[in-house]
Structure 1
Amino acid sequence: MTRLLAIDTSSAWCSVALSLGDSAPQLRHELVSAGASQCLLPWIENLLAQANQQLSQLDAIAIGIGPGAFTGVRLGLAAVQGLAIATNLPVLPVASLDAIAAQLTKTPHFAKIKPTQFVIAVDARMGEIYWAKYEFNSSTSLPLRIGNIQLSKPEEIDLRNIQYLAGSAIKEFGERLFVNHSFPSEALDPEISISALGILELAQQMFKAGQQISVNQLEPLYVRNKVAFTTNEREIAFKKGTR
């Protein structure tokens, strides 16, 4: 029986899932904005208590390493570092877009369309998006990412040969995503967002493959080095927006 704790704080959601073998995982998933720092550890303690488990009895801790909100990513990693060091547990690092992709393939809407190639695109702030391409075969349990996660302007997304598009960038940027390619409404999912269940799904496969790492090797996946505009850049952007 594989026992895993999965955590994600890379978005406005605080999400924690606990899996104990074949039983359905327990999940706490709420929109908290900047309140994850106050919720995360109490939620973990509560889920463990409900399951009558100690953290040290688990096999590993899975964590969403980003890309995502800079502060949120750091919060999640710091929490996992403390928990893993205290219990000598290995960790399973999961990229946020990969977790969303894993969740997406389980949705009825996706299953009805049956796309073999799709893109996850999420709002990266500062007028940009994080996005990645995936392949999916119904005979396999998880989608396969094609290449690296990208950071670009919405207009620069590559949607060639893509049959389905999902993620928060659809609502945030609308037609800016569809400059060179259009999609029917049934091939879009603007509502899906990251959850610890997606982290958990990938982590379970990673653990089976022996891909857990020491907490000393844990690093965030930022993709973007710059996390905020300067005052001058904000003023320029404001002036452009008022023209």
Structure 2
Amino acid sequence: MTRILAIDTSSAWCSVALSLPDAAPLVRHQKVSAGASQLLLPWVEALLSEASIELSALDAIAIGNGPGAFTGVRLGVAAVQGLAIATRLPVLPVASLDAIASQLVLTPAFISSGAQSFVIAVDARMEEVYWASYKILANQLPQRQGEIHLTPPEALELSNIDFLAGSALLEFGDRLFTNTSHPLASTHLDSAIGVNALGVLACAEEMWGKGLQQDVHLLEPLYIRNKVALTTAERIQQHG
């Protein structure tokens, strides 16, 4: 089993996990307001100390590189860049929606639903949603179908989808079902699940097995949205 440190600060949570041979991962996961920068590195140090392992002895460092909160994504990426450069470790960048998908399929509600296809939809602010479609594969993590989208909530494509999960459900509700005549039952919805380092770790381990680790100098945030603010005129036009 590989030894991978996984970090995610792309949401309102600061999350760190460490995988070890023949043992359950060590985890720190806590909701924060603006304190992730103060918790992140001390948590990394604490997990390494608990495992009695040096950072340089790891195989790789995984990072949830977005999309997500602009400042949080930058914080996590910058921290991993510093750690990986100092130790010459490769990195494994994991999209936040992929990490959520990897955890969703382990939940009792999803398993009992028998779903074979699903959408992860995350509130992207500015009246938009990050979303992507996934298929269940045997003995593998769910496979994303195409790119991660950034659209108004009404533009989600839910045709032939069995399950919907993510924070966009709480923010936009029925607006997400505009394009479908068959809204999903409440047993096929999960509004509470979010990104955490265990999901990042699960994706990273699969990536490592496929040889997809990369040099830290290639690491970049995954923003999806290039423009993070509207002008006054654009806001007025958008809202009439």
State the TM-score bracket (shorter-chain normalisation). over 0.9
- SS at 1:175's partner residue? helix
Per the alignment, in what secondary structure is the counterpart of residue 176 of structure 1?
A: helix
Corresponding pairs, count: 238
CA offset digits 1:87-144 (Å, max 9, x no partner): 000000100000000000011110001111100000000000000000003x223000
**Which letter does structure 2 place at the counterpart of 1:216?**
H
- Counterpart for residue 176 of structure 1: 175
Following the alignment from structure 1 to structure 2, what is the Cα–Cα distance between the partners of residues 16 and 23?
A: 16
Give yes or no for the alignment of 1:218 onto 2:219. Answer: yes
- Residue 73 in structure 1 maps to residue 58 in structure 2: no
In 1, distance between residues paired with 2:230 and 2:192? Answer: 27
2:221 corresponds to 1:208: no
Distance of 1:205 and 1:183 partners within structure 2: 30
Partner secondary structure for residue 74 of structure 1: helix
Helix, strand or coil for the counterpart of 1:103? helix
Deviations 1:206-237 (A, max 9, x none): 11111100001111111100112234445666
What residue number does 1:85 align with?
85
Secondary structure in structure 2 of the residue aligned to 1:210: coil
TM-score, normalization: structure 2? 0.96
- State whether structure 2 residue 116 is matched by structure 1 residue 116: yes
Task: Confirm whether residue 166 of structure 1 aligns to residue 165 of structure 2.
Answer: yes
**Superposed displacement of residue 35, structure 1:** 1.3
Q: Which amino acid is 1:103 matched to?
A: Q
* Distance of 2:235 and 2:46 partners within structure 1: 42
1:93-172 alignment runs, 5 A limit: 93-137=93-137, 139-172=138-171
How far apart are the structure 1 equivalents of 2:38 and 2:74?
14
Q: TM-score with structure 1 length normalisation?
A: 0.95
Task: Give the Cα separation in 1 of the matches to 2:80 and 2:134.
Answer: 28
Following superposition, the deviation at residue 2 of structure 1 comes to 1.1
| 1:169-212 Cα distance to aligned partner (Å, 9 max, x none) | 00000111112321110010000000000000010111111110
Superimposed CA distance per residue, residues 59-105 of structure 1 (whole angstroms, 9 cap, x where no aligned partner): 00000010001111111000000000000000001000000000000
Corresponding residue SS for 1:24: strand
User: SS of the counterpart of 1:150?
Assistant: strand
Question: Partners in 2 of 1:231 and 1:28 — Cα distance?
Answer: 40
Instruction: State the superposition RMSD in angstroms.
Output: 1.3
Q: What letter matches 2:84 in structure 1? A: A
Give, in whole Å, the separation in 1 of the partners of 2:233 and 2:35: 29
Counterparts of 1:44 and 1:231, CA distance in 2? 42
Q: Percent identity between the aligned chains?
A: 63
- Whether 1:193 and 2:194 are equivalent positions in the alignment is yes
C-alpha displacement at 1:33, in angstroms? 2.3
Unaligned runs of 5+ in 1: none
